[in-house]
């Protein structure tokens, strides 16, 4: 009888007890709004910003309502205008081009490589055209490209970089934390990310002018002096008159839940990576399956894993998906013509102009994706890998 996995791919770990206690304290106080604090009190949101800035090494941090809001706020702070062309990965999730569209700009998609990172050769050609002055770089599913070369391309052309670090909170390239290369970086604390507040986001930067604009944009009114990871008051003197309020603040309740999770994050990353390596090792040398090798320069956060079935037909992939789910293993496929749940692709977003990305099309056709929640054990990961291996091998050998 075949092994059936009984774990739940969408079940997260409970909020740490310290987070629950901190949340109860906020609830008992009634002071949920970030600026509604007692005399002499910083508030949970201001403290989270201060701690997150220290964690990433950024000068400034701003806690907001979602990762998508953080991206849109960054684009507004950079002065992206309606009709501007903003570069971004062809392989990403809907909130990334959605943030571009939300400011009236036009997404311009860049090809993806077989390693699932942005194609730097294609990026260099698009940058040379001179039509785009901002790159919204998505570290999609935690895959980090050669950031030194990317910044060389963008800096040489005067293109500002916003890093979408929703899947790389705690990751790094050559020891430099993800989010520390571009002008601004956006992180997510949505349930399926590396810290869980249901919804939430954090924006970081070293640029005082950009962060001052972001803080006013987020809805600080004239209370920006209450931020503990913000530029000095003089950075706000001119921009406060001309920067609109596009409210998207984080509240003290969510910040209270997040602060203990931030303290635990290095340990959590080690646990995710143990699951990732167990699945990765179990999938190696499977007929018809290509493991995506991670470069030694990259420090990963293995909260999900991807692999390719490059020579499989649509019917063969459907057979793999069906056989795996029958044995309790939930795989997502990025090659489908129709969006499914959170999984969509660049040609699903019809508010963007049609674009030709043949290499991205080829890769997405065989791309499989799977969450690795921390409710799984390393032994669970080995069982999952064995199930995938068996079912992929069966379909490959039947061809």
In a domain, 193, yes or no: yes
Let me know whether 196 and 280 are in one domain: no
* Residue 341 pLDDT: 87
How large is the C-alpha radius of gyration of the chain? 21
Q: Beta strand pairing status for 367-371 and 304-308?
A: antiparallel
Indicate if 242 and 147 belong to the same structural domain: yes
Instruction: Give the C-alpha separation, 327 to 318, whole Å.
Output: 14
Both 303 and 381 in a single domain? yes
Tell whether 245 and 365 lie within a shared domain. no
Strand (E) or helix (H) holding 185: strand 184-188
In a domain, 79, yes or no: yes
CA atoms within 13 A on the CB side of 382: 3
Structure confidence at residue 39 (pLDDT): 87
Is 396 exposed, middle or buried (CB count within 10 Å of its CB: 0-12, 13-18, 19+)? Answer: middle
- Please tell me the total count of domains within the chain: 2
Q: Are 289 and 157 within one domain? A: no
Q: Measured between alpha carbons, how far is 236 from 258 in angstroms, rounded to an integer?
A: 28
Same-domain status, 112 and 180: yes
The Cα–Cα gap between 62 and 52 comes to 9
Question: By the 8 A CB rule, do 229 and 52 touch?
Answer: yes
Same domain, 239 and 338: no
Whether residue 275 sits in one domain with residue 183: no
Contact at 8 Å (CB) between 19 and 265?
no
And the tokens for 226? Answer: 């209450």
Partners of 185 in beta bridges: 163, 204
CATH label of the domain that carries residue 315? 3.90.1150.10
What is the phi-psi region of residue 353: left when phi exceeds 0, alpha when psi lies from -120 to 50, beta otherwise? beta
pLDDT at position 124: 98
- Is 1 inside any structural domain? no
The span from the CA of 92 to the CA of 325, in Å, is 24
290 and 178 in a single domain? The answer is no
Q: Last residue of a domain, which of 243, 260, 277?
A: 260
Residues 204 and 69 in one domain: yes
Verify that 223 and 342 share a domain, yes or no: no
Q: Which domain holds residue 166?
A: 17-260
| Residue that finishes a domain, picked among 206, 233, 260 | 260
- Shared domain check, 94 and 33: yes
- Tell me, yes or no, whether 105 lies in a domain: yes
The half-sphere exposure of 139 on its side-chain side, counting CA atoms within 13 A, is 37
Q: CATH number of the domain that 76 lies in? A: 3.40.640.10
pTM: 0.97
| CA–CA distance, 211 with 220 (Å, rounded to integer) | 12
pLDDT at 92 (0 to 100)? 96
Helices (H), the chain: 17-29, 44-56, 67-77, 95-102, 120-129, 147-157, 208-217, 252-283, 314-326, 358-365, 378-398
| Mean pLDDT per 10-residue interval, the chain, length 399 residues | 94 97 97 94 97 98 98 98 97 96 97 98 95 97 98 97 98 98 98 97 98 98 96 96 97 98 98 98 97 97 98 96 98 90 90 96 97 98 98 92
| Cα distance between residue 205 and residue 162, in whole Å | 10
Given 241, 260, 279, which residue is the final one in a domain?
260
For residues 335 and 367, give the distance between their C-alpha atoms in angstroms, rounded to a whole number. Answer: 7
């Amino acid at each position: 009888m075949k092994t059936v996995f009984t774990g739940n791919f969408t079940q997260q770990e409970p909020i740490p007890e310290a987070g629950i206690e901190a949340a109860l304290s906020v609830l008992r106080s009634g002071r949920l709004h970030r600026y509604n604090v007692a005399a002499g009190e910083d508030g949970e949101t201001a403290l989270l910003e201060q701690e997150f800035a220290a964690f990433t090494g950024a000068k400034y941090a701003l806690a907001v309502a979602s990762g998508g809001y953080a991206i849109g706020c960054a684009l507004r702070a950079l002065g992206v205008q309606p009709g501007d062309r903003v570069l971004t990965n062809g392989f990403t999730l809907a909130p990334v081009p959605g943030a571009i569209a939300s400011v009236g700009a036009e997404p311009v998609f860049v090809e993806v490589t077989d390693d699932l990172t942005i194609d730097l050769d294609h990026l260099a050609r698009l940058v040379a055209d001179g039509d785009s002055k901002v790159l919204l770089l998505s570290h999609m599913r935690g895959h980090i490209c050669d950031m030194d070369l990317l910044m060389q391309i963008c800096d040489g052309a005067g293109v500002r970089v916003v890093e979408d670090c929703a899947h790389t909170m705690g990751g790094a390239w050559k020891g430099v934390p993800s989010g520390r290369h571009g002008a601004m970086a956006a992180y997510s604390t949505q349930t399926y990310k590396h810290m869980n507040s249901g919804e939430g986001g954090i924006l970081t930067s070293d640029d005082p002018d950009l962060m001052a604009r972001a803080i006013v944009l987020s809805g600080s009114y004239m209370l920006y002096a209450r931020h503990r990871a913000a530029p000095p008051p003089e950075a706000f003197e001119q921009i406060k008159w001309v920067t609109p309020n596009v409210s998207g603040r984080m509240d003290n309740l969510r910040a209270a839940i997040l602060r203990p999770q931030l303290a635990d994050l290095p340990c959590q990353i080690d646990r995710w990576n143990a699951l990732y390596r167990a699945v990765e090792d179990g999938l190696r040398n499977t007929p018809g399956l290509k493991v995506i090798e991670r470069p030694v320069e990259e420090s990963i956060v293995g909260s999900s894993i991807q692999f390719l079935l490059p020579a499989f037909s649509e019917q063969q992939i459907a057979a793999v998906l069906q056989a795996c789910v029958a044995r309790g293993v939930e795989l997502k496929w990025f090659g489908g013509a129709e969006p499914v749940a959170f999984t969509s692709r660049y040609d699903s977003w019809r508010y963007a102009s049609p674009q030709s990305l043949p290499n991205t099309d080829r890769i997405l056709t065989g791309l499989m994706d799977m969450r690795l929640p921390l409710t799984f054990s390393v032994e669970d990961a080995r069982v999952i890998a064995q199930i995938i291996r068996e079912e992929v091998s069966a379909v490959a050998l039947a061809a």
